[in-house]
Amino acid sequence: MQRSIVDALPTPTTPAVGLRHITRVASRPVPRWLLVFGFWTLIVLAYSTRGEVRVGSYQWLPISWLDAFKAAVAQWYPWGAMSVAIYWVNRKLPVAPDALVPRLLIHVPLSIVFTVAYTYLFRGATVLLSAPNDPNWVGATILETASHVTYRLGTFVYWAIAMICVALDYQSNLKDREIRTADLERLLSEARLATLRSQLDPHFLFNTLNSISAYVERAPRQARLMIEQLGDLLRLSIEHADQHEIPLERELAFVDRYIQLQLVRFADRLDVRVRVDPEVMTAAVPTCVLQPLVENAIRHGTSKLTAAGVIELCAWRSGDRLHVRVRDNGPGLPRGFRLERHIGIGLGNTRARLEQLYGHGEYSLQVAPDEERGTCVDVTFPYRAA
Amino acid sequence: MGTERIRTLVVDDEKPARMRLVELLQREPDVELAGTAADGREALDVLRRVRPDLLFLDVQMPQLDGFGVLQQLAPDELPITILVTAYDKYAIQAFDAHAIDYLLKPFSDQRFDDAIGRARKYVASADVRAQAEDLTAAAEERLSVDARSGFLERLVLKSNGCITFLDVVEVDWIEAAGVYIYLHAGPHKHLYRSSVTQLLQRLNPHRFVRIHRSAAVNTSRIRELQTLSHGDFTLILKNGTELTLSRAYRSHVEAWLRQPI
């Protein structure tokens, strides 16, 4: 029965990137530094074959391979070293990776800085290696450098490197974003399925139907009300299908149906108090986030008690954060409970979605023993109007 | 016995569920409602005081559940019992294996009528002892299902008023015998009410693998496989027993071995 109901529902939208491709590549097959080093070495080797060096405007001197090699090293390896720095600076720029124009504008002054740095590195390398001096590539002072062909050629190389860095960064950011969207879709599907599974949670479903069955003759109106509430529960979860966030008001309507049905089952053994500030009713909350918390409270808290259980659901705003709290007075957390290790599927999914929606550090989810007895679950995230 | 009414007790932690049964029972002319209980402890209390003829017992209850209650009762304290459950795969498997009557929530009036009809026959025959054995066996088996893996760890066998426990690891191989099966454990073979398929569903598939329409084997007992003609194999157990692995079940063994044979 369970399987056929799930099949009848609309399938979740398939993520843009196939699930198989969602792997965070932590280490590439070839280390990046090796690729960079290899690339510049190729250039050095290519330049070592030139066989002659310019000593004057139109004068050329033949040189040995070794000397040509040294000259090429002095000329190109500084660029190689700086390309790493340029890449790093590009990544750290306080501009969004897809804001290309501001990025290019920032690179203009940077090009000057790097090119000047290059000339000093080049000079130093030439001296160190006692490579033949190519006057076209070095000037005595900065000003001379500025007016030389050197400078213009130097910036040309800089821009070539910088453009590659920008393109790489843009590309990698694009991929990251695709992955995050796909992740979010997947998590939302899982949350929906999990919530549906909990409405289809066999105990909840069959016992609710049994309760309805009990009232059918003796209190038909009550029975029909419960049938309507169960129908609403299923309908609301289908309607929320593609939305990541909904107004708190609607999420509460959803949870309320669930609570009403549970109250009939647990008759005098359950008391649910909902305390929500009217002003936060329009806040945007992740879909399917409250019901699993209440369900947990009932499952691990109240249903384990033979006496009356109390569950409290509160939501309030504090500054720019929205707080949601669910407390129960059940037997409490097992000894040695630690959220990291013992987090269940429902809470784990909730936390993952909060991470994706709001970002690391922008939300919090805590499970702790309540004041006197029972458990308290606190969820906090940025307050946003829906 | 004739004009006496059947005194019945209803135990369920959820009020609507109690109401449902009470209402149905009140319609039966030969049934007298002797009381209700809302949890395991209360049930034990009322049971011992009232001594009903018939008991409707919910399985899922907080703190002391239906099986816990059954475990606590001596055979002569157990009335004819119909167990009630919303959803408990392992309980139902245990019920089926021991011919326990049970009701699945939500149940229709008709299904209830069938159940109470059967209960009447039991009460009339006063064959309480046999049922008490079955109830205890089912409770023990349900409780022996490993909480994490969901696999049965222990089987309960009944013979001549005696209940014995057989650990699943001790079973060498399983052989079909009509409606029953034989559990071969060392030099003994025990009769158990189940089909090979039904029992395999409750056991760890890494530990037991089906080799034939009428046989399954404990994988740790396999010594060697010999090829026969026509794609059949002979399976030789460590204790020397020779069994046939039929072509049809070769894939089962290959799946367990994780390689083709």
Distance of CA B149 to the CA centre of its chain: 18
Same domain for B132 and B182? no
Residue B217 in any domain: the answer is yes
Kindly state whether B53 is in contact with chain A, defined as any CB-CB distance less than 8 angstroms.
no
Are A210 and B38 within 8 A, CB to CB? no
pLDDT in tens, B61-105: 988 999 999 999 988 899 999 999 998 889 999 998 888 899 999
Which residues in A have their CB inside 8 Å of a CB on B? 202-203, 206-207, 209-215, 217-218, 264-269, 303-306
Range of the domain at B197: 156-257
Are A206 and B104 within 8 A, CB to CB? yes
Among positive and negative, which fits the CA dihedral A22, A26, A31, A33?
positive
Same domain for B126 and B189? no
pLDDT at B192: 93
pTM equals: 0.63
Per-residue pLDDT of chain B (261 residues; tens, 9 = 90+): 456 899 999 999 999 999 999 999 999 999 999 999 999 999 999 999 999 999 999 999 988 999 999 999 988 899 999 999 998 889 999 998 888 899 999 998 989 999 999 999 888 886 667 788 889 889 989 988 988 888 999 999 987 778 889 999 999 999 999 989 999 999 999 999 899 999 999 999 999 999 999 999 999 999 998 888 777 889 999 999 999 998 888 888 888 888 887
Kindly state whether B41 is in contact with chain A, defined as any CB-CB distance less than 8 angstroms.
yes
Bond from prior residue into B106 cis (ω within 30 degrees of 0) = yes
Q: What are the φ/ψ torsions at residue A162 (nearest 5 degrees)?
A: -60, -40
User: At A138, is the pLDDT very low, low, confident or very high (cuts 50, 70, 90)?
Assistant: very low
Residue in B16, B63, B86 closest to A264 by CB: B16
The 3-state secondary structure of A21-38 reads: HCCCCCCCCCCHHHHHHH
Q: How many CB atoms lie within 10 A of CB A304?
A: 15
CA distance A213 to chain B (A): 7
Are B86 and A215 within 8 A, CB to CB? no
Domain boundary among B112, B143, B174: B143
Same domain for B138 and B163? no
Are A203 and B62 within 8 A, CB to CB? no
Are B86 and A211 within 8 A, CB to CB? no
Q: Are A54 and A136 in contact (CB under 8 A)?
A: yes
Of B31, B11, B126, nearest to B79 by C-alpha is B126
Same domain for B166 and B96? no
Residue in A202, A210, A217 closest to B16 by CB: A210
Domain count, chain B: 2
- Average pLDDT of the segment spanning A133-156: 53
Q: Which two tokens stand for residue B217?
A: 């084997």
- Average pLDDT of the segment spanning A336-341: 78
Q: What CA–CA distances, in Å, run from A378 to A297, A315, A367, B4, B187?
A: 12, 10, 7, 59, 60
β-bridge partners, A380: A323, A364
The domains of chain A are located at 26-179, 201-382
Phi-psi region of B203 (alpha: psi -120 to 50; beta: other; left: phi over 0): beta
Are B38 and A265 within 8 A, CB to CB? no
Q: Please tell me whether residue B161 adopts helix, strand or coil conformation.
A: coil
Q: Name the residue in chain A with its Cα closest to that of B18.
A: A214
Residue B229 in any domain: the answer is yes
List the alpha helices (DSSP H) in chain B.
15-26, 40-50, 66-72, 89-97, 109-125, 128-143, 196-202, 250-257
Q: Name the residue in chain B with its Cα closest to that of A2.
A: B87
Are A306 and B16 within 8 A, CB to CB? no
Select the residue from A201, A204, A210 to test the B interface by mutation, using most B Cβ atoms within 10 A.
A210
Kindly state whether B165 is in contact with chain A, defined as any CB-CB distance less than 8 angstroms.
no
Q: Are B99 and B81 in contact (CB under 8 A)?
A: no
Q: Selecting from 3.30.9.10, 3.40.50.2000, 1.10.3720.10, 3.30.565.10, what CATH number does the domain A201-382 have?
A: 3.30.565.10
- Give the pairing type, strands A321-328 and A375-382: antiparallel
Q: Specify burial of residue A16 (Cβ count, 10 A radius: 0-12, 13-18, 19+).
A: exposed
Count residue pairs from A and B with Cβ separation < 8 A: 63
- Average pLDDT of the segment spanning A16-23: 37
For residue A52, is pLDDT > 70?
A: no
Residue B1 in any domain: the answer is no
Are B16 and A304 within 8 A, CB to CB? no
**Interatomic CA distance for residues A134 and A73, integer angstroms:** 13
Please give the radius of gyration of chain B, using alpha carbons only, rounded to the nearest integer.
22
Q: Which two tokens stand for residue B111?
A: 């299904």
Kindly state whether B39 is in contact with chain A, defined as any CB-CB distance less than 8 angstroms.
yes
Please give the radius of gyration of chain A, using alpha carbons only, rounded to the nearest integer.
33
Are A267 and B20 within 8 A, CB to CB? no
Same domain for B139 and B235? no
Same domain for B10 and B103? yes
Kindly state whether B149 is in contact with chain A, defined as any CB-CB distance less than 8 angstroms.
no
Residue B214 in any domain: the answer is yes
Q: Are B47 and B9 in contact (CB under 8 A)?
A: yes
The residues, any chain, with a CB within 8 Å of residue B256's CB and separated by 6 or more, are B205, B206, B209, B219
We report the CATH number of the domain holding residue B188 as 2.40.50.1020
Burial B32-66 (b: 16+ CB within 10 A, else e): bbbbbbbbbbbbbebbeeeebbbbbbbbbbbebbb
Q: What are the φ/ψ torsions at residue B37 (nearest 5 degrees)?
A: -145, 150
Same domain for B125 and B66? yes
Kindly state whether B23 is in contact with chain A, defined as any CB-CB distance less than 8 angstroms.
yes
pLDDT in tens, B101-115: 999 999 989 899 999
Phi-psi region of A230 (alpha: psi -120 to 50; beta: other; left: phi over 0): alpha
- Average pLDDT of the segment spanning A55-64: 68
Residues of B with CB below 8 A from A207's CB?
A: 14, 17, 86, 105
Same domain for B136 and B168? no
Q: What are the φ/ψ torsions at residue A147 (nearest 5 degrees)?
A: -95, 0
Which ipTM was obtained for this model? 0.75
pLDDT at A132: 66
Select the residue from B13, B69, B102 to test the A interface by mutation, using most A Cβ atoms within 10 A.
B13
Same domain for B93 and B36? yes
Same domain for B201 and B124? no
